[in-house]
Amino acid sequence: MNWDTFAGVYFIAAAVLIGASQIVFQRILREVNGKSPADQKISSWWAAMRFGVVLQRHSTLFPRSKKRTLLWSFAIAGFSLFILVLTHYLGSGR
């Protein structure tokens, strides 16, 4: 692949942002599991499948938390940057 100078940097930045959103999600999951009874804890292996449930419980247990906003900010910025780089690369006719 013949990437221009900044495409690699943008791709790495997108990966870092998406990774940061995953780290925030794992922290949210730990908070939810910390306040949940044993029979309602969500395994980290299945947490991605129950993404909405985790965020809904978190908003109920921690209504003033800004972690959900941080999670969405990182995820949207990362995926948008990834799509931008991919579109630029595919549209450049290389």
Whether 27 shows a pLDDT value over 80: the answer reads yes
pLDDT tens track for 32-83: 999 999 999 999 888 889 999 999 999 999 999 999 999 999 999 999 999 9
- 40 in a structural domain: yes
Alpha-carbon dihedral sign for residues 26, 32, 34, 40: negative
pLDDT band at 11 (very low <50, low <70, confident <90, very high): confident
Residue positions counted in the chain:
94
What domain range includes position 18?
7-91
- 36 in a structural domain: yes
Is 88 in contact with 7 (CB distance < 8 Å)?
yes
- 31 in a structural domain: yes
- 38 in a structural domain: yes
- 1 in a structural domain: no
Tally the domains of the chain.
1
Residues in Cβ contact with 77 at an 8 Å cutoff, skipping those fewer than 6 apart: 17
Element (H, E) at 88: helix 67-91
- 13 in a structural domain: yes
- 52 in a structural domain: yes
